[in-house]
Every structure is written in C-alpha cells, then in structure tokens.
Structure 1
Amino acid sequence: MSGTLNNASLKTGRSFDLGKMNLRQLWVAYLTYPTILLYFALIVACIAVATHFFAGWGATLVSIVAVILVYPLVWYLLHRYVLHGRVLYKMKWTASLWKRIHFDHHQDPHLLDVLFGAPVTTLPTIAIITCPIGYLIGGIGASATAFGTGVTITCIYEFFHCIQHLNYKPRSAWIQRMKARHVLHHFHDEDGNFGITSFVVDRLFGSYYKDAKARPRSPTVFNLGYDIKEAKIYPWVMDLTGSPPRDRPDGARPDAKAARGTRHAA
C-alpha cells in the first residue's frame, strides 16, 4: 500500500491491510485510530481521577503491579476458552459478538479494523477485571489506577498485535520471536500460542509450541471450527458474513510465504 493510498484510507475510513503496510504507516494508522484515541483519553481521565482520589504511592504501585500480573492470565483464559470457544456462535443472540471479536480476525488476520477489539466489549471487560482489584487495594483512586493500567496494557497489546500481522521484520530478536509464535497461532495451529507479548502462561498451561514441526497443521486454523458443516447447523455467523466460512483468509494469500518465513525467525 502506498503512502498516498494509506492517507486516503485515514480520511475515508477504508480498511487497512497490515499485510501491505510498513512500520511508519502503522504508526500513523495506530495513533489516529478512533479506538486507540478513546483509550488514550480514558488513560488521561484515569490519571485525573487517581490524582483526585489519591490512594498513596504504596496502594497505587501495588495496583499497577497487580494488574500487570493478572492481565496476561485473564487474556489467556478469555482468548482460549471464550474467543476460541464454540458456544457463542451456537446462539443467535451472541453469534454477531463472536463474529466481531474473533472470527473475522482469524478469517482475515491482516485486517486492522477487526484486529482491534470493539470498545463496547473490551472496556467493560477491562473494568470488571481491574476495578475491583484496585478498589480492594486502595479505594476509588487505586481503582482508577488499575483500570488505567489495564487500558494502557491493552494499547500496548494492540500495537504489538499489529506488528505481528504487519509486512515488516522487526529488528529486535525478542519481537521477532514473539511475532513468529503468533503467526503460528494464525497460520498453523490456533490451539496454542494464545499470548500476545508473552507466552509464559502458554508454557504454564501446556499450549506453547515453538515451530510448525512441533505439531500438525490444524484444519480449523482459519475458521476456528466454524466450517461449512457447522454453518449449516448454526447459520447466524454465515448469514452476517454473507458468504460461507473460508478455510483460508483471502487477505492473507499474497503474504502467505512471508508469514511462513516469519515462523522461522526464532
């Protein structure tokens, strides 16, 4: 994607294909994306609330550390057992939710619009997890700190998630390894490597794998088990999509070789 076309996308709202963007274009798209701008505004608001109801440096720091420790575990559990679960698409009233929050992303991993979680689902989830932790530690001020920390981590996760789908080879060996593991999750076997920036929890739960040789390729890596057979029984996601589920994302086809090469970056 040329710089001119990418700028046009910013103005017209057209989708971004991360498989055709470079790092500079990602920064522009990321820093001007409405969801990210909303997150930034909420972080500033949390700082204001935390300052007004200051809980003390001890409670503030403990709240930050607690969220940093809890967040990867919560993300792992939600990613593995909810986003990759098969319950949501089997109910008509949750089918559109599952389609938006994860199915679309696996159908086309390079599409920026569905890579970011929708604020209507991400923010309540972050609040439910972080606010009670902070409140128990230090009341309203610490609760605001905890929520702000959760939103900040989400921004970091989202950026590195973009990097993992970007047509770009990171210079950092750590980011290369991180990207390689996530590419395996999307292009080899979805039942593993659920982390984004860290795979410590994957190791603890036995879902970590290093390369494609570690396990056979999953036939459901792009459709998460929602194949033609399932779509005939539970048609709501397919009806919303307007076409049958694909066994390979069209948007990723030109970059398939590059994706396979990234797997061996480690």
Structure 2
Amino acid sequence: MVVQGFTVDLNKPLVFQVGHLGETYQEWVHQPIVSKEGPRFFESDFWEFLTRTVWWAIPVIWLPVVCWCISMSVRMGHTTPQIALMVVCGIFVWTLLEYTLHRFLFHIKTKSYWGNTLHYLLHGCHHKHPMDGLRLVFPPAATAILCIPFWNLLKLISTPSTTPVLFGGGLLGYVMYDVTHYYLHHGQPTSEMPKSLKKYHLNHHFRVQDKGFGITSALWDRVFGTLPLGKAGEKSR
C-alpha cells in the first residue's frame, strides 16, 4: 500500500519506509546524502548486522575459495598456461556480468511497495548513502547464494575439469570489483588511472546516474553506448 505524500523519517529504520514513496521513490533515492554515517535499516539487531560488511571481509572470505577452485582444475591435469588463460576468461566474463547486473537489475525502475523496498536493499541504499562504508561491498551470505546459479551456468557451458577454474576466475573478478568499488569511494588515489576511475564512478553517483555502469573499467559502457557525456558534450575518456 502506497501512502500519498509520504515522507521518509531518516531517524527511523528505513527499509520498510521507502516502499511507501511509490512513484516518487526513484527521485528520492537518487538524491544522495553524503555522510560516512550510514542509516539504520531494521529495528532488529540481527537483520541490521547482516546488512553491514567491512571491506576486507571480501578478500579474506573469497580468495581462499578462488584458490581452492583453481587447485581443483590443476589436480585434474590442466597446465599452468591453460589455468592462466581460463582465469583471465573468468575475470572477463565477470566484467560483463558486473555491467549487466548494474545496468539492468541495480537500476531497474520500481514504484510498488515491495519493488521499492527490494530495490533499496539491493542498490538504492548505495545511491542514497554513497559513502556508507559498511554497505559498499556485497554481504557474503548474499554472494554465496548468487554463486549457486553462476556455478550451474558454467557447468552447462564448460567441461567438468574447466568449471572450477572458470568459476574461480569469475569469483576473483568479483573480489577485484568489490574492493575496487570500496576504494573508489573511500580511497585517495594519486596515480592517473585510479584517479580517472574514481572520477568516472563518482560521476555516475552525482551527475549522470543513468550512464557509466562500469566499476572496474568503462569497457562495456563503450561497447553498449552508455558512456556519459562530458560537460562540453564530448564523451568521457
């Protein structure tokens, strides 16, 4: 049920409020509040805990899984060059998945109560509070659930001996994505490439939120024509 003229109370848990915004949710969620203090999501301390993840938990939890998956394919007889090539392929597949999820799922338009609520949990909260350091990376429990269809998809298109290393490469790509995403918000890069990437991503948050869906690179934005325009009408470099 949508409450007409509803106003979100930022001093109360937000998740079950935002659905009442109805069609005004999209406008509200894309007006960022720049604060390192994140909002409370739930009354329940248990559910609140599950929404908060420190950035370093991502490599600590998932890099051992990456190594284990790669070692499985090594034990099945693949050579080092073959392993390296398949890891790179897995990372490449992840970059396309990263772009696709961000563009078509994370930025889906919603207006129903539960549509708004689920979108806020999935990605809207990040656009509303882009500097919330404990909600920048994906909670490990949610990642584990999403790994299941990714593994099964790879099983359909690859052999039993290559599935583990391709999965490991894709998972490594995810780890690179999540730690890069955190760095783009909270790091202070000094070299040109990370400075350019940080500017590119913050442009997506604060200027052109319907363009620039790449996080680790602008490759797929160039391929699919979602590269944002610069101030003078030129495409961003």
Q: TM-score, normalised by structure 1?
A: 0.60
Distance in 1 between the 2:99 and 2:193 partners?
A: 20
Q: Which residue of 1 aligns with 2:73?
A: 50
Contact 1:63 1:134 in 2 (8 A): no
Q: Which residue of 2 aligns with 1:164?
A: 184
Q: Deviations over 1:142-191 (max 9, x none)?
A: 211111111211111112111211152x1221111111110100011110
Q: Which residue of 2 aligns with 1:104?
A: 125
Task: Pick closer, same or farther for the CA change 1:96–1:50 going to 2, 3 Å.
Answer: farther
Map of 1:146-185 to 2, 5 A cutoff? 146-166=166-186, 168=188, 170-185=189-204
Q: Which residue of 1 aligns with 2:88?
A: 65
Please tell me whether residue 121 in structure 1 is matched to residue 142 in structure 2: yes
RMSD: 3.1
Q: Which residue of 1 aligns with 2:210?
A: 191
Task: Pick closer, same or farther for the CA change 1:146–1:130 going to 2, 3 Å.
Answer: farther
Q: Which residue of 2 aligns with 1:144?
A: 164
Task: Pick closer, same or farther for the CA change 1:66–1:134 going to 2, 3 Å.
Answer: farther
Matched-pair identity in %: 23
Task: Pick closer, same or farther for the CA change 1:64–1:127 going to 2, 3 Å.
Answer: farther
TM-superposed deviation, 1:197: 1.5
Q: Could you tell me which runs of 5 or more consecutive residues in structure 1 were left unpaired when the two chains were aligned.
A: 1-15, 19-28, 216-262
Deviating above 6 A after TM superposition, structure 1's stretches of 4 or more consecutive aligned residues are none
Q: Which amino acid aligns with 2:206?
A: F
Task: Pick closer, same or farther for the CA change 1:47–1:17 going to 2, 3 Å.
Answer: farther
TM-superposed deviation, 1:79: 0.6
Moved more, 178-187 or 97-106: 97-106
Task: Pick closer, same or farther for the CA change 1:68–1:159 going to 2, 3 Å.
Answer: same
Q: Which structure has greater helix proportion? A: 1
Task: Pick closer, same or farther for the CA change 1:105–1:137 going to 2, 3 Å.
Answer: same
Distance in 1 between the 2:62 and 2:118 partners?
A: 21
Q: Which residue of 1 aligns with 2:109?
A: 86
Q: Which amino acid aligns with 2:172?
A: T
